[in-house]
Amino acid sequence: QAAQSASLRDLPAVTADGVSVSLMINLGLPLELPQLEATGAAGIGLYRTEISLLAQHRPSTATADQAVEDGFLASDKLMGRQTAEYARVLDRAAGRPVLFRTLDLGGDKLLPNASLPESENPAMGWRSLRIGLDRPMILRRQLRAMLAAAQGRPLSIMFPMVATIAEFRAARGLLEAEVARLEHGPEQLQVGTMLEVPALLWQLPQLMKEVDFVSVGSNDLMQFLFAADRGTPNLAGRYDLISPPVLDLFDSVVRHAEAEGVWLSFCGEAAGRPLEALILVALGFHSLSMSPAALPRVKTLLRKADLAGFRKVLSAIRSHNPLAASLRDPLSSWAREH
Ligand code: PEP
Ligand code: MG
């Protein structure tokens, strides 16, 4: 088994009919960095910067609001720690791309000892980039840490929970202000956004003109599209990503990204499920980022897949079942048979 995965690690992620796919991993802690070599990933498609904050138990911090107000998130101490952490990540990535996502606190990512709900609907509350834009010193200091960690190396920064072009512009404005303070900025700075708030789906033509990359976050996107909390077990499996409306929507995302030459990735958990991964690649996603444990099985399936053949099947099944709640059964039967 170990020998098998070692050889798989070194094999290219390419379909049987020759389409290359960039398989990356989602990380959030420096101690996970060895997963880069263990999986043979092409890079880190999502580095969740809030994870190390959540992992440090800060007993004084009860809610996101309080953490903001007590000044810790904008402190020199935290900025120093962030700089060291991000530098370690870039060192270990050794030139492979890393998409650093700015703090995505709130929602399901509450700070330790969050005994009080911060709002009735925390997933839709004051969270994530919204905090960073309302308290710009928090975001600016984190961006400063990223720039300092890069030390001139290429850097990719991704903003979470962007709902409007105006929010993206405001966040990028803070980044530009930080870059302007530097004598030597990064050799290459790529700025992009998560696509996880449905409103952004109706702003794609303009969005694609303004970003360097987009990464679809289906964990949040699905919960907001279907009004179905991502953490409620009774709802798990009720709404399927492999369904006509979601696949139509992904088609449109791919089309708009291609029209502007924007690098498009997919970093929601679905990317780590082999059938979903195959479908996403068939729709035109060339980069998938997933939990490290999922990468070997996704790679195994993609390497066996005749993508051109699968595209025909996918399109026939879609056109015969436009109203189905899910297309999972016919697609997984086909995948199993082939
Ligand atoms: C997502 O929402 O799909 C995502 C990748 O981000 P997170 O799970 O950290 O919210
Ligand atoms: Mg998310």
29 touches 316 (CB < 8 A): no
Which pLDDT score is estimated for 67? 67
| pLDDT reading at 44 higher than 90 | yes
Question: What's the whole-number mean pLDDT along residues 24-35?
Answer: 98
Q: Between these two residues, 120 and 304, which has the higher pLDDT value?
A: 304
107 touches 130 (CB < 8 A): no
pTM of this structure? 0.94
Which pLDDT score is estimated for 65? 64
The verdict on the CB of residue 218 being under 6 Å from ligand 1 is: yes
| pLDDT reading at 188 higher than 60 | yes
Please give the span between the terminal C-alpha atoms of the chain, in angstroms, as a whole number: 23
In order of 136, 139, 176, 247, the CA distances from 173 in angstroms are 11, 11, 5, 33
Distance 219 CA to ligand 1 centre (A): 5
Using most ligand atoms within 8 A of CB, pick from 196, 200, 214, 225 the residue to mutate for ligand 1.
Answer: 196
Which pLDDT score is estimated for 58? 60
Question: Counting ligands in written order, which one lies closest to the CA of residue 222?
Answer: 1
Dihedral sign, CA of 134, 175, 257, 247?
negative
Distance 46 CA to ligand 2 centre (A): 11
| pLDDT reading at 338 higher than 90 | no
Q: Which atom of ligand 1 is nearest to the CA of 46?
A: 5
Distance 245 CA to ligand 2 centre (A): 20
Q: What is the pLDDT of residues 107-132, one digit of tens each?
A: 777 665 444 445 778 889 999 999 99
Q: Annotate the chain with three-state secondary structure.
A: CHHHHHHHHHCCCECCCCCECEEEEEECCHHHCCHHHHHCCCCEEEEECHHHHHHCCCCCCCCHHHHHHCCHHHCHHHHHHHHHHHHHHHHHHCCCCEEEECCCCECCECCCCCCCCCCCCHHHCCCCHHHHHHCHHHHHHHHHHHHHHHCCCCEEEEECCCCCHHHHHHHHHHHHHHHHCCCCCCCCEEEEEEECCHHHHHHHHHHHHHCCEEEECHHHHHHHHCCCCCCCHHHCCCCCCCCHHHHHHHHHHHHHHHHHCCEEEECCHHHHCHHHHHHHHHHCCCEEEECHHHHHHHHHHHHHCCHHHHHHHHHHHHHHCCCCCCCHHHHHHHHHHC
| pLDDT reading at 4 higher than 70 | no
Using most ligand atoms within 8 A of CB, pick from 214, 220, 241 the residue to mutate for ligand 1.
Answer: 220
- Which position has the token pair 């609907």? 121
Q: Between these two residues, 54 and 173, which has the higher pLDDT value?
A: 173
pLDDT band at 55 (very low <50, low <70, confident <90, very high): confident
Which pLDDT score is estimated for 116? 42
185 touches 154 (CB < 8 A): no
Distance 221 CA to ligand 1 centre (A): 8
Q: Determine which residue's CA is closest to atom 9 belonging to ligand 1.
A: 48
Residues 6 or more apart in contact with residue 173 via CB below 8 angstroms: none
In order of 9, 23, 38, the CA distances from 2 in angstroms are 10, 20, 11
Q: Determine which residue's CA is closest to atom 7 belonging to ligand 1.
A: 219
pLDDT band at 63 (very low <50, low <70, confident <90, very high): low
Residue 47, strand partner residues: 27, 100
Q: What is the pLDDT of residues 196-219, one digit of tens each?
A: 999 999 999 999 999 999 999 999
Residue 193, strand partner residues: 159, 214
Which pLDDT score is estimated for 114? 47
Q: Determine which residue's CA is closest to atom 3 belonging to ligand 1.
A: 217
Poorest-pLDDT segment among 6-20, 113-127, 253-267: 113-127
53 touches 75 (CB < 8 A): no
Poorest-pLDDT segment among 28-32, 227-231, 286-290: 227-231
